[in-house]
Amino acid sequence: MSRGAGIVVQGVSKVYRLPGGKADRPALHDVNLTVAPGEFVGLLGPSGCGKTTLLNIISGLDSDYSGTVRFTAPDGAASFRPVIGYVFQEARLLPWLTVRDNLRLVLPARGKETERDARIEAWLARVGLEGYGDYFPGQLSVGMQQRVAVARALMIEPDVLVMDEPFSALDELTALKLRDELLALWSETGCTVLFVTHNPLEAVYLADRVAVMSPGPGRIVGELDVAAHVGRPREADDPAVWRLSRQAVALLRSTERS
C-alpha cells in the first residue's frame, strides 16, 4: 500500500485582489481534481492559467480561496493532515549556507546531530551529490542545485510532493537524467506527486495521468489517462509516449478555442 495521501479538490476558485481599486483578477474558477494516494499526476496548461496558484492552495501556502481541499490517508481515512514537500522552479537555496546546512534546515532539531548528518549524507548520495555537502549553492550547476532541492523536499518523507516546473530551466540532457532520478525516488518513497509543467512530452513521460487546464481563470477541462496506454518503465523515445503527448497538445489547443 502506498504511503502517499489522496488529494480531493472541490469547487476551488481564486481571485487576486489588485491594489489601487483596480478590477480584481480571477485566477481559478471551479477547479475539481481528485488524486489517488501514491498517484503521479501531471498538471498541464498555458502560461497564466493558475497552475502555480493551485499548487500553492493545495500545499497550504495560500489560504485565500473558495471551495475545499482535503486529504485522505492511504487507508481512506478522511481529515488526514499530510506532510507536504514543495520543489519550486528555482532551487531557492540560501546562498550563504552550504548544501549540508540548507538540508539541515528542514530536519527537526530533536534527536542526535550525528543521526541528522547521516540522513543528510544518505540523501546527497541518493540524488547523486555525494561529497558536495560542504559546497555553497553558487558553486553548483543549476541542475545540481535542483538535485539539492529535490533532496530537501523528499528527506522530510512527504505524503504529497508538489513540483512547479522544476526542470524547465535545465538543458534537455540534464532534465532527462533528473526525470529518471525523480521517477526512481517516487517509486521508492510511494508519495503522491502533483507535477506542473508546460511540456506535454515531459508530462506524459512522468505521469500516470495528465490533467489539462484552460487559459485563466483556470479550470480542469480534460484528462489523459497515460497509465492505461503506456506502462512503466518508459522510454522517452517510445512512439506511444510521443503519440500521447500529441493528444495532450490537442487538448491544450482545444482550450484556446473554447
* Residue 78, pLDDT score: 62
Looking at CATH, the fold of the domain delimited by 6-83+158-257 is given as Rossmann fold (3.40.50)
Mean pLDDT over 95-119 rounds to 89
- Any idea which of 54-63, 114-123, 136-145 has the lowest mean pLDDT? 114-123
Q: Which residues pair with 40 in a beta bridge?
A: 193
The grid cell for 196 is 506542473
Q: Is the pLDDT of residue 2 over 70?
A: no
Confidence of residue 76 (pLDDT cuts 50, 70, 90): low
Handedness of CA 210, 214, 218, 221 (dihedral sign): negative
Model confidence band, residue 257 (pLDDT cutoffs 50, 70, 90): low
- Place 79 in a pLDDT band, splitting at 50, 70 and 90: low
How confident is the model at residue 169, as a pLDDT? 84
Q: What is the pLDDT of residues 222-234, one digit of tens each?
A: 999 999 999 999 9
Mean pLDDT to the nearest integer, 200-206: 95
- Domain extent listing, the chain: 6-83+158-257, 97-156
Average pLDDT of span 109-137: 90
Task: Give per-residue pLDDT as tens, 48-57.
Answer: 899 999 999 9
18 exposure class (CB count in 10 Å sphere: 0-12, 13-18, 19+): exposed
- pTM, full prediction: 0.92
Range in 75-79, 116-120, 132-136, 152-156 the model is least confident about: 75-79
Q: State yes or no: pLDDT of 1 exceeds 50.
A: no
